[in-house]
Amino acid sequence: MTTPAVTEPPSIKTLATATLAVLKRKTVLPLLTLSLVLSACSQASIPAPAAVDPDVGSSTHGSGEAHTHDLHPALPGLPLTELPTNARLSPTTLTVPQGTRLSAQALPSNAQTNKVALKVLVLSSGPTDFGIGAARAMLDQAGVPFDVLDATTTPLTPETLIASDGVGKYQGVILTDSALTFQSSPGFYSSALDTTEWATLFQYEKAYQVRQLALYGAPNTVPEDYGLRLVPGAEFATGNLNVTAAGKVAFKDLTGNAVPLRYAYTYGTRTLAVAGVTTQPLLTDDAGNVLAATSTLDGRERLILTSAQNPYLLHTQVLGYGLVQWLTKGVHLGEHRRFLQVDIDDWFLNGDEFDPATGGLRAQSFRLSASDALSARDQQRALDGAYNVVNHFEFAVMFNGGGATPSSLSTCNPQLYGSLIKDALSSVSRCMAYDFDWVNHTRNHLRMDVMDLPTSTTAIAGNFSIGTQLGLQISRKSLVTGEHSGLGYMDPTDDGTNNDGGFSQPKQDLGLGRSNPNLITAAVNSGVHYLASNRSVASEWDASCPTCGVFHPMDPSILLIPLYPNSIHYHVTTPEEATASYNKLYAPGGVVPYWDHAFNYTELLDVDSTQGVGHLFEGTAWPTYMHQTNLRQYAPGKSLAGDWVKAVVEKYARYSTLPLNTLRWDDLGAYVERHTLEEKAKAANAYTAIWNRTTSTVRLNRVGSAVPVTLTGFWGGTFYGAYEAWPLNVSGAVDVYVRTR
């Protein structure tokens, strides 16, 4: 099967032509160069071209009309012919510029080598640096604060690394490649650090016991020796990363299963006995060649990877958590957690159903049956029991009370009561009031981009009222509007006269400033604090903090929680319908032809679950939204939604042991709110965190009102995997005990 491209791919990176400000006498050293191009895809983190499918209409259960949507297929990533599958390190010599000194300057007289700030330094080789995205992603996902130094423009000096009071500024150092290589002139490659700067860095790492992570390298002896040597002819871009016994110790979250590596140029190496160097392989290829290793030299601890890294690649996603924990010794600000959140929209409504024979819609609409709903409950229970990584999974059900019959008898056996059952779905929903997280999806799913206050209030408060009548356990502070409407992603000509029908012009991202103030007012008046937004719309998520929610500019008491779509379309109920709809978009002859053949259901699940797996590894709490049509029990105990979740979890559990948390929407909102405040406080340098390794304490110091802080490594904290963490509210100076792992 052809491998897909990333839905939101990074651009192909090429080496820029740049010149060091001052190149002293040049010393030509052995082979070490930089990747010209990075992969934009991987086996298990490359989403298929996902359809963004906003809802465009609705009806109540009694109207007989189908609740409908509109499919807006996202353009695929890079054309398959342009994927950099053969990217490699350029076979040329590397020059390390001669510095002004023969060695590093002496440490300052007040050096406090037992103390370091809880922050990481990322050393970059310039604006076209291939590894900076991976470094940023893994640190962002863990909540670790960091600085980036572009070594092609900014000198690295002792003052860069050591504060005026002698405290180390950084607890760890990441090299985006092991020699910080860039093309200083056509065909000529140079290290962005000169010999003095390398010596300064190495001295700091030794004195302050700071670990160094090289995200990519073809290890030899430049600028230092890792005890590894290239194996000629052992390069590859498709293979496996096999975890050694030492690798399982370093990457405490991994299962030990081989991790597929796809579309990332990789160098096979072998260990070589080098005086003063101790090398420990962590990952190997199928031939036993070393692909990652820790090593020590002169008291310094280092870890090097010989594969190109990219945040969209599976191996980077799988290894990222363990790399950060190794680098920080398990003590750092922030925490990394993973979530399994799946929303089911449009419960109680009729919906369109795709007809594979015609490529259009069936004349008869679809609405969940009582047996479909009961099966959904049983499917989530089965998933929860089948995988150790799943922690109390349940669907979040976005309900539209306008399609319900609140007076219907509460029972999970409606067939026993005959004519006493007014609506079987309403009856079993009442019976399963505590089996799902029930979330307000508005009364009738009207589009709320241009809607008056009374109608908005009825849509929101009225649905809460119906949910109460049904006896549902509702997340009272949460709301998902139909189409995620009302937030400025809209038809700019919409005048609000057709809120239950299609829109005239394609939707545009007009920004949150064009949100409907009546929606915001009605939501606040109804007790809503957490409002779903569309992760596919630029203004509705925070690119500067990918794990943060967005406080709405019209009323910051409303926090936006971004949601992901997937490619199980809103109007499909069976595998046949799902594949036919997907192929209508992306198979040869489709709307946006992308694949070289039409997919079967197994291929569709395999490809689209890769996107879900990638989202799990990101550490974001964002739900993926699906639809009531996707819960049809097309075979005993089987539904499209259940198949998709199982496929995602099965892939995840193959590689990681970290638990997947599922939170009710109100709890999810509260978690994201605190996390967002915490990340913003870190970004604003609102407090300091200094680790005293002699006393095994971290001093947190905040001048002003309390701010939320989470500390991984907190002694006595709550364990997540092998590492413990604890949330605090800090004002003034607080000393807490930590321990390394």
CATH of residue 655's domain is 3.20.20.370
391 domain-assigned: yes
Residue 635, exposed/middle/buried by CB under 10 A (0-12, 13-18, 19+)? exposed
Q: What pLDDT digit, counting tens, does each position of 505-550 carry? A: 889 999 999 999 999 999 999 999 999 999 999 999 999 999 999 9
Q: What pLDDT digit, counting tens, does each position of 403-438 carry? A: 999 999 999 999 999 888 999 999 999 999 999 999
Tell me: do 434 and 313 sit in the same domain. no
Mean pLDDT over the full length of the chain: 88
Tell me: do 302 and 284 sit in the same domain. yes
Q: What pLDDT digit, counting tens, does each position of 68-77 carry? A: 566 666 544 4
CATH of residue 217's domain is 3.40.50.880
Tell me: do 352 and 299 sit in the same domain. no
The DSSP secondary-structure symbol of 527 reads: T
598 domain-assigned: no
pLDDT at 668 over 80: yes
Enter the pTM of the model.
Answer: 0.90
Domain final position from 315, 333, 351: 333
Tell me: do 633 and 697 sit in the same domain. no
Q: Judge contact between 78 and 7, C-beta under 8 A.
A: no
The DSSP secondary-structure symbol of 140 reads: H
Tell me: do 423 and 351 sit in the same domain. yes
Q: Judge contact between 486 and 451, C-beta under 8 A.
A: yes
Tell me: do 196 and 268 sit in the same domain. yes
Tell me: do 281 and 377 sit in the same domain. no
Domain final position from 333, 356, 373: 333
Q: How many helices (H) and strands (E) does the chain have?
A: 13, 39
15 domain-assigned: no
Tell me: do 416 and 381 sit in the same domain. yes
Q: Judge contact between 45 and 312, C-beta under 8 A.
A: yes
Tell me: do 118 and 142 sit in the same domain. yes
241 domain-assigned: yes
Domain final position from 280, 309, 333: 333
Cis peptide upstream of residue 223 (ω within 30 degrees of 0): yes
Q: How many domains does the chain have?
A: 3
pLDDT at residue 622, as a whole number: 97
21 domain-assigned: no
Q: Give the span between the Cα atoms of 242 and 257, in whole angstroms.
A: 7
Tell me: do 357 and 491 sit in the same domain. yes
User: ∠ CA 584-79-92 to the nearest 5 degrees?
Assistant: 160
Q: Give the span between the Cα atoms of 281 and 663, in whole angstroms.
A: 38
Tell me: do 240 and 378 sit in the same domain. no
pLDDT at residue 74, as a whole number: 56
Q: What pLDDT digit, counting tens, does each position of 296-315 carry? A: 999 999 999 999 888 888 99
618 domain-assigned: yes
Tell me: do 314 and 361 sit in the same domain. no
3 domain-assigned: no
Host domain of residue 137: 93-333
Q: What pLDDT digit, counting tens, does each position of 232-261 carry? A: 999 998 999 999 999 999 999 999 999 999
Helix/strand/coil for 190: strand
237 domain-assigned: yes
